[in-house]
Amino acid sequence: MEKHGRDTKFYKRVRFVLECLHVLFTLPFVLTAIVIFAGQRDPAVLLLVYLSGYLLLPAVVIQKKVLIRNIPLAKCILIVLANAVMEAAIGYAGSFHPLLIRYRAGIIAALVIGSVLTGIDTLLARKTETDRQEALRLGEVDFTGQAYVLQKPSAVALAYIFVFYVVGLLARTDVLCNIALIVAVLYLITVKVYDFIEKSEEYLKINHNTASLPAGRILRTGTLLLLAVLLAIGLAAVPAAAAIRYRIYPSLEIRVPEGQAAETLGLTAPSSGPVMPPGGAAMGNPLDELVPEDDFEWPAWINDIVYVLAGIILFCVLIAVIRIIKEVFVRFTREYDDNGDIVETIDPDEKRQTLYSAGKIDRRSAQGGVRYRYKRMIRKNLKGRPMPQETPVEIEKRAGIQDRPDVIKLHDEYELVRYGQQV
Amino acid sequence: MILIFFAAAALLLYILQAAYKRSWPKELSAELSFDGGYIYEDDESAMYEVIENRKRLPVFLLEVGFKIGRGISFIDTENTNVSDYVYKRDIYALGGYERITRTIRLVGKGRGYFPVSDVSLSAFSLFHTKRYLCQAGQDAAIYVYAKRTALGRIVPALDSILGEEESRRKFLEDPFAFSSIRDYTISDPMKSINWKASARSGELMVNTYASTMTARLMVLLDIEDSGIWKRQELVEDSIRVAATLLQRYLAAGREAGLAVNAQGTEMIMPGKGGALRHRAERLLTSDFEKERPFPLQELFRHVPEDVIPVVISKNADRELIFSLTGAFGSERRILLVVPHGKDEKPVLPVSGGIETVYREVLS
């Protein structure tokens, strides 16, 4: 695949980015769901909790880059542990916001667990790949191996996102529902882009020995069509977004028969206030017990630094996205000849080239029909091709069909059409 | 709401796929052509694949496949599969309103006529979940003529015979005398047309004259290989000798003809010009193994009296010598070329006007 150069390397980088995004899109939902089950309904808090899950990014990138290489297992375990410690530190620093402080321990735990899970998943996938290579070497073509859920985007994960959407419905938290909808759109885009890149790379790998394989053109042309698919996905999100205001939250209230006080089991989604058990005493948020009373206030300059850092990161991400889009379009508009092929743009008004040897005849016209039938008759009966200077009589004689009644009739028609321009 | 998104996305993606399936073959053409109508054995040539997409919709991945006889060998062998035919598959990706021309180098490995009558076009959907197929008729073909070969002692022997014949004619004929009337061929000048004879016969007829004194020759080629031990290389050598002789003497301005003892092949009476030469070359590209041969002696009666027969036969034996003498007489000058294997030279009787040239063929 190396001989196809820059184009395939570019798409490999894109694929790597999508594999990282796949983890980031999916894991933070778990953290958010836990906070919801703990009783939190504040939209701002839920959004921040969800976004804090993206702090897993450094561990994901490091592990996906490093652990797939041929490193001894002991070193890999050390890398996973180091990443876990790093994520704990990031989680501690990242949950500085007053709204998140009370969930700091949970965020740190989620990041550490997410980091370890990603590491284990990557190592298991590496082992599967090694086993596959070994099976191929031994000639076992049926080996498929285990599929690992955190390795690559898959349409199956949309069901997982749907589950959290349902959780949001049941918990009556529109934040989680909206996040799930947005992530579903972005994730489907991720899946389609990843699918395209993976299948194209597979095809190119199978055909890597094919002469004049236009790998770059295949990827670029496919990307054009892919943009149409992504546009369709974007359009599909429009009715869903418009229908948000009509979202129906299911009620799980249970009514008891008349004569008895209506009881509401604690399953009804509470308001964002504290949960009221039967008897009326406020329970408070159970997680509050884990958070020690603390009068400590963060210095204001830490806030400023964090805002600056966030701004820098956002700026870098934006630049990267613009560069990717620009690179894709520059590649489309470049004039080139690929693998020695001559590539030309056809003017829509340009007449179709009719090569003499192609011998295209418009069969639909009366004249064309006669010529086509005559040509077919000759091709059927003559061995080889007629010489350019041979007359119809000479050709028929050589084919040995000059005395057939049907040939004589067609011959007369042909001569009228060919030489007399009559029908 | 998420379900609305899933349903809308599934519907739109299905529509896109259906639209692509319907639209990809429209305004898409694939045309094959060869560089020139013929090559010789072991010569290189080129084939052109021109794929045109005359619509806005790109064709993401297009495989163009065709088959051709095994006498043609492609220099880039990665995309070819050889069994009873040579199957070639090329991969393209076309943008909207684009034309791609690919040149494919090839070598003529064996003589023959190699047409390409259709190509298969195979396109993939964007995510490789579907494969779509269609066929496109083609009208491309190339001839691989028999290889030129060294003629060795054949040329001096034949030149000697031709010289003797021309000298003999000089004493017997008035060079400006009217000789005969025959059918018109494309190489005849208009001024030689005999209009009265043409009107009587209904076909164009020309006068011929003996003024050039040039002797004519006719190659009688024996392709029979009926022994238990097949010697196809000797038959191939015979064909190459016939082709080389005809090219040489036609290029020198002589009249030459060709007859082969294979059922269904035409007989080319002595004539001149490039057109006749190509007729003979194409005749010699036939797959004679498939044709039923008849005895070579049956060709003798078709040889005109004023023509020198050049018989090429690997099956030459005493019987053939007697047949030649019986058909043409002991005074008639004949050249007999006998290809044979190493240390397999036959012993043939010497007879009157027959000049025998033995030609050892190394496998």
Architecture of the domain whose range is B26-145 = Sandwich (2.60)
Do A183 and A47 belong to one domain?
Answer: yes
With a cut of 90, say whether residue B237 has pLDDT above it. yes
* Residues A235 and A375 reside in one and the same domain: no
How many structural domains does chain A have? 2
- Whether A283 is covered by a domain: the verdict is no
d(CA A119, CA A59): 8
- Please report the pLDDT score of residue A127 as a whole number: 81
The alpha carbon of residue A410 is apart from the nearest alpha carbon of chain B, in Å, by 20
Q: Does B148 touch chain A (CB under 8 A)?
A: no
Residue from A46, A54, A285, A53 nearest A177 by CA = A46
Chain B 208-247, residues with CB within 8 Å of chain A CB atoms: none
Residues 6 or more apart whose CB falls under 8 angstroms from that of A342 comprise B100, B101, B102
Q: Do A181 and B139 touch (CB under 8 A)?
A: no
On whether any CB of chain B is under 8 Å from the CB of A11, the answer is: no
Which has the higher per-residue pLDDT, A322 or B179? A322
* Mean pLDDT score, A136-145: 69
Spell out the alpha helix ranges (H) of B252-333: 274-283, 318-328
Question: What's the whole-number mean pLDDT along residues B47-73?
Answer: 92
pTM over 0.90: no
**Contact status of A226 with chain B (Cβ, < 8 Å):** yes
Q: What is the pLDDT of residues A41-56, one digit of tens each?
A: 888 888 888 888 888 8
pLDDT at B132: 92
Task: Say if A262 falls within a structural domain.
Answer: no
pLDDT tens digits, one per residue of A2-25: 344 556 677 778 888 888 888 888
Range with the largest mean pLDDT of A201-210, A410-419, B295-304: B295-304
Domain limits for position A413: 366-420
Are the beta carbons of B140 and B94 closer than 8 angstroms?
no
Residue A270 has pLDDT above 70, yes or no: no
Is residue A19 a part of any domain in this protein? yes
List the domain boundaries for chain B: 26-145, 154-173+214-360, 178-212
Taking CA–CA distances from B32, the nearest residue in chain A reads: A358
Considering the domain architecture, whether residues A244 and A373 belong to the same structural domain is answered as no
Q: Which of B361, B125, B327 is nearest to A225 (CA)?
A: B125
Whether residues A154 and A20 fall in one domain: yes
The pLDDT of residue A318 is 73
Please give the angle made by the CA atoms of A356, A360 and A365, to the nearest 5 degrees.
135
Nearest CB among A184, A185, A235 relative to B12 is that of A235
Residue A216 has pLDDT above 50, yes or no: yes
Same structural domain, A245 and A110: yes
Contact B333, B257 (CB under 8 A): no
- Mean pLDDT of all residues in A111-116: 86
Residue A298 belongs to a domain: no
Mark yes or no for CB contact A207/B12 under 8 Å: no
Give the span between the Cα atoms of A140 and B256, in whole angstroms.
65
- CA dist A226 and A199 (Å) reads 13
Judging contacts by C-beta atoms under 8 Å, the chain A residues touching residue B128 are: 199-200, 202-203
| Residue carrying the six token digits 């969800």 | A50
Residues 272-301 of B with CB under 8 A from A: 275, 278-279, 282, 285-286
Is B75 within 8 Å of chain A by CB?
A: no
Q: How far apart are CA A103 and CA A90, in angstroms?
A: 14
Average of per-residue pLDDT values in chain A: 75
A332 is a domain residue = no
Question: Does A388 map to a domain?
Answer: yes
* Average pLDDT estimate for B137-161: 90
Q: Is A337 on the interface with B (CB under 8 A)?
A: no
CATH fold for the domain made of B154-173+214-360: Rossmann fold (3.40.50)
Residue A128 lies in a domain: yes
Instruction: Identify the residue with better confidence: A323 or A331.
Output: A323
* SS3 (DSSP) at B19: helix
Quick one: average pLDDT of A346-352? 72
